[in-house]
């Protein structure tokens, strides 16, 4: 299934009302909905507000700001129906979220890569013998955020990015970088790489991109949720790596656009073979439109992004990720099942209304229908 985007999508609005909390954490405080916005969301809400009042989730820090928006919309909607609810979400990293979900410590996991292989098998036990489903509720482009004195515009391709992140390219004025940036005053300074020190779906997606787009500069098997570059400085969470780049001249990191925006970081353009492409909503959407599900017709909506990462489509920004909510298809107790369905239904509908303000890309209408159908099928 191709993900078709409506023409209503406009440029990303710069994130203003979200602030970072403690250094090195992902304790971002999301902007709360205005009184009029909250009332509108509540009036149009699809949330039943059934089931238990308190849900718990953990995992992807990439979706933390989106989760704040989802929770605010859900709380507002249920308050209008006379019910007090809350969703406690800990942005502990995708790997930790999946681990906690399998161990029944949380109701759902946020993950930037689909649960699979042995973890999917283990999740069946947690779900009383039933499959866990991957439901993509947030799309976000990943920025190659950089902080280089005197350089406002930077172009990289898959090969140069791979060689930077595996330590083969060590200086900003390396001939391979210079060849992509004619006329730029690249300094003769060392490159400082920041990477996620925690197990991260963002890392998984980024390394899959490098493996697909680097002409062999990144090993095909150097993927997964832990960084395999053997170079650089680790930092905890998306906020940690963004803060590292912000405070370190000569540095670069892979980080979700929302966190790059928060820290006012510059993002490299990517040339996958059809010319440099700036990171914008429109260019990321062009890539999302070509993404396909791994299994057509399944209620498990894991995506196959390898072809997207390797695409040479003009004007398409290839480095994107889909971040999932990992849930039990069946096997919850009745109160948990009802609450999970209510919250996710709200998130897939009115919860999407403010995501562009946070640097995300709301669900395309046709894709939203597919997600809601899977949510409705949870039992």
61 is in an annotated binding site: yes
The CA distance from 39 to 24, in Å, is 34
Q: Are strands 266-267 and 320-328 parallel, antiparallel or unpaired?
A: unpaired
224 is in an annotated binding site: no
40 is in an annotated binding site: no
Neighbours of 328 (CB within 10 A): 24
For residue 291, the SS3 value is coil
First CA to last CA distance, the chain: 25
The answer to whether 277 and 319 have CB atoms below 8 angstroms apart is no
322 is in an annotated binding site: no
The CA distance from 190 to 167, in Å, is 11
Scanning the structure block, which residue is given the tokens 């149009």?
44
The CA distance from 216 to 126, in Å, is 39
94 is in an annotated binding site: yes
200 is in an annotated binding site: yes
CA distances from 34 to 40, 42, 45, 257, 350 (A): 10, 12, 16, 24, 14
202 is in an annotated binding site: yes
Structure tokens at 250: 């000569």
Q: Which residues are annotated as a binding site?
A: 60-62, 94, 112, 200-202
Q: Which residues are annotated as a binding site for phosphate?
A: 60-62, 94, 112, 200-202
């Amino acid at each position: 299934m191709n993900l078709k985007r409506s023409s209503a999508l406009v440029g990303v609005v710069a994130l203003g009302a979200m602030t970072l909390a403690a250094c090195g954490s992902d304790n971002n405080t999301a902007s709360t909905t205005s009184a009029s916005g909250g009332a509108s969301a509540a009036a149009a809400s699809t949330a039943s507000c059934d089931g238990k009042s308190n849900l718990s989730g953990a995992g992807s820090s990439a979706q933390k700001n989106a989760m704040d928006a989802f929770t605010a919309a859900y709380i507002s909607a249920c308050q209008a129906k006379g019910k007090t609810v809350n969703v406690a979400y800990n942005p502990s990293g995708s790997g930790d979220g999946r681990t906690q979900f399998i161990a029944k410590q949380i109701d759902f996991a946020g993950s930037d890569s689909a649960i699979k292989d042995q973890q999917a098998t283990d999740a069946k036990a947690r779900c009383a013998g039933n499959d866990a489903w991957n439901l993509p509720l947030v799309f976000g482009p990943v920025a190659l955020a950089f902080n280089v004195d005197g350089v406002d515009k930077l172009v990289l391709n898959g090969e140069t990015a791979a060689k930077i992140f595996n330590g083969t390219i060590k200086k900003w004025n390396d001939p391979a970088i210079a060849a992509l940036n004619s006329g730029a005053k690249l300094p003769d300074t060392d490159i400082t790489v920041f990477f996620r020190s925690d197990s991260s779906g963002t890392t998984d997606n980024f390394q899959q991109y490098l493996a697909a787009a680097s002409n062999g500069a990144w090993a095909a098997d150097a993927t997964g949720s832990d960084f395999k570059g053997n170079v650089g400085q680790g930092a905890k969470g998306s906020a940690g790596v963004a803060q590292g780049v912000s405070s370190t001249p000569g540095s670069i990191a892979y980080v979700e656009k929302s966190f790059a925006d928060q820290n006012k970081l510059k993002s490299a353009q990517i040339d996958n073979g059809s010319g440099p492409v700036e990171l914008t909503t429109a260019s990321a959407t062009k890539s999302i439109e070509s993404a396909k599900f791994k299994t057509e017709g399944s209620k498990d909506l894991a995506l196959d992004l390898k072809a997207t990462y390797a695409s040479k489509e003009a004007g398409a920004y290839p480095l994107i990720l889909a971040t999932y909510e990992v849930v039990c298809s069946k096997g919850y107790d009745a109160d948990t099942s009802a609450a999970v369905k209510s919250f996710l239904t709200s998130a897939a509908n009115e919860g999407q209304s403010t995501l562009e303000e946070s640097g995300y890309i709301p669900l395309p209408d046709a894709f939203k229908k597919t997600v809601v159908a899977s949510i409705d099928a949870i039992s």
